[in-house]
């Protein structure tokens, strides 16, 4: 059994221990100590990282009350000088305690129970057994959870039997058996938990809900706590400041300014689309005037694929073979109407790879893209000879 120093003090991040055993496994060394400040992965909380005798600890896990420190190099001697990454430890306890407080707020206000918890590198999620969580509810929960932080109530941890624990005002039923570790945050929250937590709730700093989404009949809540939340808010504040400067407006008018500009852009896009449509129609009319031998071919060096599609739409009912190319995108439309001996898709399938192109289509129409204009031009010449 490994003595867990982190339960005595959640901020303890270094100490001396005795090396009890070293197990070689999967080209790694799993070091067992008589006591350790390293928290093993469990209860939804990632493990601590750091060093033992200056050698990196890559992973920490627990089995049958024994904690294993996974390392690539075997430490020398009988004494282990343990140093835990303090920044990672502090982040983990801020996120984990914040999760308890947020879950408590949902339970108090809406009887929502946390049915799932994930602590990732970028954000934390909980799954609340509520199908609908509105923006107003999110705001109320956020105010409630941060009020728990301002109260700065003490954290207490203790072990008891399951029968004793079930007499407490727990917000979630206990599934484990044997001795149960309870984490109590003042009178705000009582939970069975094996993780590390802050000494007082004020050390969480802040809880910021980022977004919610529907998930398997529940609501998944994304959030950040402590320094993570601060950095997130600082980043958003910087973005807002840049947008204010770009739009030359105050923060409270920024959304209206963006909506107004988006509407203006949408109207301009409609006008441009109409212009392109008319231009394509004019080009199609020019091609029809010069039509001979039921063959139409045109290369538009500075036009994109959307433009040649617009030209094709004006020509598709003509009894002709049509070859239209976009020099801007290096793409082609090859089509025919009522020309039975020309199978567009088949021609592409059998020949296009020789020209480094990718594409295909039906007997009446095919399209493709090429890596460069030279290959496109060679393919066009091949089609002209073919048809």
Mean pLDDT of 164-174: 91
Mean pLDDT of 31-39: 96
Does 214 have pLDDT greater than 80? yes
Q: Are strands 295-300 and 321-326 parallel, antiparallel or unpaired?
A: parallel
Lowest mean pLDDT among 151-155, 174-178, 341-345: 174-178
Write out the residue limits of the CATH 2.40.30.130 domain(s) in the chain: 3-84
> In percent, how much of the chain has pLDDT > 90?
87
Supply φ then ψ for residue 341, to 5 degrees: -85, 0
Give CA–CA dist 226/97, Å, rounded.
Answer: 10
Write out the residue limits of the CATH 3.10.310.40 domain(s) in the chain: 273-386
State residue 176's pLDDT score.
82
Give CA–CA dist 192/158, Å, rounded.
Answer: 10
Could you list the beta-strand ranges (E) of 12-153.
14-25, 28-33, 35-36, 50-52, 55-57, 59-63, 66-71, 79-84, 114-119, 124-128
Label residues 315-343 b or e (16+ Cβ within 10 Å = b). bbebebbbbbbbbbbbbbbbbbbebeebb
Q: Does domain 273-386 have CATH number 2.170.150.70?
A: no
Give CA–CA dist 319/136, Å, rounded.
Answer: 62
Give CA–CA dist 244/264, Å, rounded.
Answer: 18
Mean pLDDT of 128-148: 97
Cβ proximity of 125 and 116 under 8 Å: yes
Mean pLDDT of 138-159: 97
Confidence of residue 348 (pLDDT cuts 50, 70, 90): very high
Does 143 have pLDDT greater than 90? yes
Best CATH choice for the domain 3-84 from the list 3.40.50.720, 2.40.30.130, 1.10.10.60, 3.40.50.1240: 2.40.30.130
Q: What is the pTM of this model?
A: 0.76
State the burial class of residue 26 (Cβ atoms within 10 Å of its Cβ: 0-12, 13-18, 19+): exposed
State residue 121's pLDDT score.
83
Contacts of 98 (CB under 8 A, 6+ apart): 124, 145, 204, 207, 223, 225, 226
Give CA–CA dist 374/358, Å, rounded.
Answer: 15
Mean pLDDT of 165-191: 92
Give CA–CA dist 254/350, Å, rounded.
Answer: 56
Write out the residue limits of the CATH 3.30.980.10 domain(s) in the chain: 90-243
Does 340 have pLDDT greater than 80? no
Per-residue pLDDT reduced to its tens digit, 299-335? 999 999 999 999 999 999 988 999 999 999 999 999 9
Mean pLDDT of 133-138: 96
Per-residue pLDDT reduced to its tens digit, 12-33? 999 999 999 999 998 999 999 9
Does 289 have pLDDT greater than 90? no
Per-residue pLDDT reduced to its tens digit, 153-163? 999 999 999 99
Q: Indicate the CATH number for domain 90-243.
A: 3.30.980.10
Supply φ then ψ for residue 10, to 5 degrees: -65, -15
Average pLDDT of the chain is 94
Per-residue pLDDT reduced to its tens digit, 42-76? 888 999 999 999 999 999 999 999 999 999 999 98
Mean pLDDT of 228-248: 94
> In percent, how much of the chain has pLDDT > 70?
100
């Amino acid at each position: 059994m490994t003595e867990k120093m982190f339960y005595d003090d959640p901020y303890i991040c270094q100490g001396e221990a005795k090396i009890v055993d070293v197990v070689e496994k999967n080209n790694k060394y799993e070091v067992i100590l008589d006591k350790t400040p390293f928290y093993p992965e469990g209860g939804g909380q990632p493990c601590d990282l750091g060093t033992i005798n200056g050698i990196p600890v890559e992973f920490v896990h627990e089995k049958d009350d024994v904690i294993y420190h996974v390392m690539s190099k075997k430490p020398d001697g009988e004494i282990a000088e343990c140093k835990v990454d303090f920044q990672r430890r502090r982040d983990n306890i801020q996120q984990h305690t914040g999760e308890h407080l947020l879950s408590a707020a949902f339970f108090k206000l809406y009887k929502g129970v946390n049915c799932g918890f994930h602590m990732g590198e970028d954000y934390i999620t909980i799954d609340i057994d509520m199908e609908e969580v509105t923006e107003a509810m999110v705001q109320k929960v956020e105010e409630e959870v941060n009020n728990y932080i301002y109260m700065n109530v003490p954290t207490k941890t203790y072990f008891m039997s399951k029968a004793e624990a079930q007499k407490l005002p727990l917000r979630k039923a206990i599934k484990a058996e044997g001795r149960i570790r309870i984490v109590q945050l003042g009178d705000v929250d009582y939970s069975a938990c094996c993780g590390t937590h802050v000494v007082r709730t004020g050390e969480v700093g802040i809880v910021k809900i980022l977004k919610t989404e529907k998930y398997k009949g529940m609501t998944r809540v994304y959030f950040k706590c402590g320094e993570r939340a601060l950095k997130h808010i600082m980043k958003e504040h910087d973005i807002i400041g840049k947008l204010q400067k770009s739009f030359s407006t105050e923060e409270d008018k920024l959304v209206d300014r963006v909506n107004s500009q988006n509407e203006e852009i949408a109207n301009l896009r409609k006008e441009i689309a109409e212009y392109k449509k008319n231009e394509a129609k004019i080009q199609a009319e020019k091609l029809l005037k010069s039509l001979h031998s039921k063959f139409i071919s045109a290369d538009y060096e500075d036009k994109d694929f959307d433009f040649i599609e617009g030209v094709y739409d004006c020509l598709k009912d003509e009894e002709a073979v049509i070859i239209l190319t976009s020099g801007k995108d290096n793409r082609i439309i090859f089509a025919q109407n009522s020309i039975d001996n020309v199978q567009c898709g088949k021609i592409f399938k059998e020949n296009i790879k020789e020209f480094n192109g990718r594409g295909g289509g039906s007997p009446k129409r095919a399209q493709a893209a090429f890596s460069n204009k030279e290959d496109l031009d060679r393919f066009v010449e091949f089609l002209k000879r073919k048809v």
